[in-house]
Structure 1
């Protein structure tokens, strides 16, 4: 009976998401509408959709799972992400919104790079699209893995069946509604996520016996469980571990599915309000996600979970009546869907705008719109194939893709906006250096190298190396006069 009631809530929730997709189906008249929504978003939708698409299933699964095992050490990741969120909104959002419009109304990040650096060879656009395909395949698969775990934990479904159900729903409304459907579903999902992440740990604390009982439980696990500066054995955290956790914040500057929200807001004037909303949402969500894992460690101290990433879902199942549990568990589905849909859309735009449109220059807007829709299906199928391995960890997949985007695009986004001497050669060298360093560093054990400095999160060396390449190559070249003029036009407004 309980499962039937939860299924009912899930079905209603999914029907609402599909309804939004159908509603916006008729509003997409061209590729710009489908990919960027005609730059019509308000502050609330921009803020919550960007952060909901940012956090993904790892907010309610990966991060609580890490906190369940490591305690307060998980706060370093949360701190890095909170600071990164604020800095991205403060320094990148307004200027990127302005620059992408001035640079021939660029509707995707690769097209912006091409227009910004006058790349008639299309090399920048192609390199960007290739890295988007690689890293979003990994990122999207992490969301599908989270969906499989959700349905498996709640309904006891076979992992492959659960994976298939989740993928079909997300494909459906993204295929139909495009960017506006994705943003409005993400807005609703962001509200559901923050509601659930606040309610669940507070209910768990009350069920355990209050804050004093929880603190006593922390001490039983380890006296160091609430110490952010040591591991559970009392050893000081290695400097590399702290740097690696904080470095998650660097990733924000290069995430295409977040940056595209800055490009789509209706006016620069709406950005300060959106920044306040987004930062507040992120700080609350991250702090409570860590609390979920830590309180869960106390709640299940006698019977440790076989999969720590399921702690949020298992808490809900044990604490709430079925209808309320269904709504709260829908938050996990919301977290998963809000990111996967955005990733599929950005990847589809890379395939369509940055690859297909180069080959078929005579393609009509309607043709490009339908190619983009079917690209969503293609991307989903490839990610689905990667996600079939039940042993995949959500946090591991997310950290790899996050570093990939952060180092491939992050340095170039910053230099393109804030250093007028950046050139096309520097842009190409920086992207290649950043993306390839992440891949090689992540897989260093394959080359017989591991431990020591290679324990450092790959985004750190890759971000630094990419920045060095951008500067060195740009100093050898000279930007054209019209590039300098455009940069000063954007900067002086």
Structure 2
């Protein structure tokens, strides 16, 4: 049951988010500040934002459904994310920061020319909108279950409008600042939910012993080798997606190369820790609530997608469900507002300015970015509603398969060439867009030639429904990687050098890529304020959690949960406020 305390927590959260937009607006002076924070953020802000852009409420809806049905195999995706970000830490994070651009696609223009700038702009914007729609659809399902009486369609529209408003008002500074607060709240509530879930099933040993799955790979597995190949393919795909040049946006806001590297390590650690705790509740739900379809509205096409929600509602202490709702909304809001800000940046910096309005002023570009964010936000809402129409008509696969299939078919062929071009020189500019077209042709071949029935005939074995989906995912990713990579190397045979203008751009790209970025005195001016604002936000929320611990009737376990959350928030507040004082002192000494 949702209590007054829960509604108060939710209201306080929205007040904080809107306040962040107002407080950080004074940090904005140009489009670089609006779209990438001017490259002046600390590693913990950059790392939080990098993590949250790779994360959404899909984890607790679509991925939770996979955990409920098939068990621990879902951890593969999130461990793979941790590996991908660790590779960022070892190599790519500082390199991507060192491109010294406002948007990631600017670096693609320097490396692959103006044609690829437009190609990747108009490939990435629709992809970003579709991903955001999947996330919004997921969080809409969650809110509908959490608030009895709410209908899904109005919920999707309302939440989409809220996210759109925050994205337009705040810019990248507010987005990254709220990402840090939202990350803290998210990790706290998921740790508490995991702990109470373990207690409900009798501890870790009982969870492992009672998981009702046919094998270690889950249910409907007739060919274990295929499940192993699926896991390896997921690892490959996530490494590709986390190391693409288009993800330079994650590190362009870092104050220097060192902070970019630390940010990547933080994201890697968070995914590694999170993969352990996030899926305990849905796996526990498969034990405690084996017939979950009878516990949710019959309107939902995939009841297992609400396993995490059902578990939380039945085990969390009084007053904690509000923080849980905040955590779930934060998971999607952070991904959506970052996505809208990034896509608006692509539109303004990589299309509006160089194509439509070459002589536009900074002020004009700023307001055009606001309008672009509004339009894209409305598009996300429309796509999210369409996904639900497909699901209700029985044409949708469910959020888990939609997310994986979309990434395999579209994201991989786009990402492969712009990873390779970070290391391989002497390729013609058309290598970029032609590789993506090869990937699209590959997808057509898979749908019409290398189908699941073809594979069954090849191996002489009938696949289950799940295995058919796994096979299509494997063949799509592997063929895309092999054929697209092969085509990229093949294009080198046609390299005949660049024009003088292009050679200058390419030389600048390679020079910047390996030249470390060092924070300047201008950057230090904002070190104290960014720590202070977020520190006070964490402190106020921590104080409120302490108040709830005292006034809400709970047993010792329930009060301990509130104490844990308040202690962490107050501790974070103390550390940030202390850092703000030190940053102010450093800046004063520079002056």
TM exceeding 0.5: yes
1:225-250: per-residue Cα shift (whole Å, max 9, x none)? xx24x645575241543333323322
SS of 2:58 mapped into structure 1: coil
Q: 1:236 aligns with which of 224, 228, 251?
A: 224
Could you tell me the TM-score, scaled by structure 1's length? 0.89
| Distance of 1:457 and 1:295 partners within structure 2 | 32
Kindly report which structure 2 residues correspond to 1:75-474, keeping only aligned pairs within 5 A, or say none.
75-98=75-98, 100-101=99-100, 106-117=101-112, 119=113, 122-156=114-148, 157-218=150-211, 221-222=212-213, 224=215, 227-228=216-217, 231=219, 235-238=223-226, 239-249=228-238, 250-254=240-244, 256=246, 258-301=247-290, 303-304=292-293, 307-357=303-353, 358-389=355-386, 390=388, 391=391, 393-403=398-408, 406-434=411-439, 436-437=440-441, 440=444, 444=447, 449-451=451-453, 452=455, 454-456=472-474, 458-474=476-492
Partner of 2:533: none
User: Could you say if the C-alpha distance between residues 86 and 406 of structure 1 is closer, same or farther in structure 2, counting changes exceeding 3 Å?
Assistant: farther
Gaps of 5+ in 2: 296-301, 456-470, 516-591
Q: 358-367 or 80-89: which moved more?
A: 80-89
Question: Does the CA contact (< 8 Å) of 2:198 and 2:280 recur in 1?
Answer: no
Partner of 2:579: none
Q: 125-134 or 453-462: which moved more?
A: 453-462
Whichever of the two has the greater Rg, that structure is 2
User: Could you say if the C-alpha distance between residues 381 and 440 of structure 1 is closer, same or farther in structure 2, counting changes exceeding 3 Å?
Assistant: farther
| Distance of 1:180 and 1:397 partners within structure 2 | 31
1:45-80: per-residue Cα shift (whole Å, max 9, x none)? 111111011111122222221111011222322332
Partner of 1:69: 69
Partner of 1:44: 44
Structure 1 residue 335, shift from structure 2 partner: 0.6
- Say how many residue pairs are matched: 476
Q: 417-426 or 281-290: which moved more?
A: 417-426
Question: Does the CA contact (< 8 Å) of 2:405 and 2:473 recur in 1?
Answer: no
User: Could you say if the C-alpha distance between residues 25 and 408 of structure 1 is closer, same or farther in structure 2, counting changes exceeding 3 Å?
Assistant: farther
Partner of 2:60: 60
Q: Which has the higher contact order (CA 8 A, sep 6+)?
A: 1
RMSD: 2.6
Question: Does the CA contact (< 8 Å) of 2:197 and 2:280 recur in 1?
Answer: no
Structure 1 residue 13, shift from structure 2 partner: 0.8
SS of 1:372 mapped into structure 2: helix
Structure 1 residue 320, shift from structure 2 partner: 1.7
Question: Does the CA contact (< 8 Å) of 1:95 and 1:417 recur in 2?
Answer: no
1:325-381: per-residue Cα shift (whole Å, max 9, x none)? 110221111111111111111221222222222111121111111111111111111
Partner of 2:574: none
Gaps of 5+ in 1: none
1:370-411: per-residue Cα shift (whole Å, max 9, x none)? 111111111111121111143263323432443466424422
User: Could you say if the C-alpha distance between residues 91 and 464 of structure 1 is closer, same or farther in structure 2, counting changes exceeding 3 Å?
Assistant: farther
Structure 1 residue 215, shift from structure 2 partner: 3.3
1:137-174: per-residue Cα shift (whole Å, max 9, x none)? 21011121022112101112111111122111111111
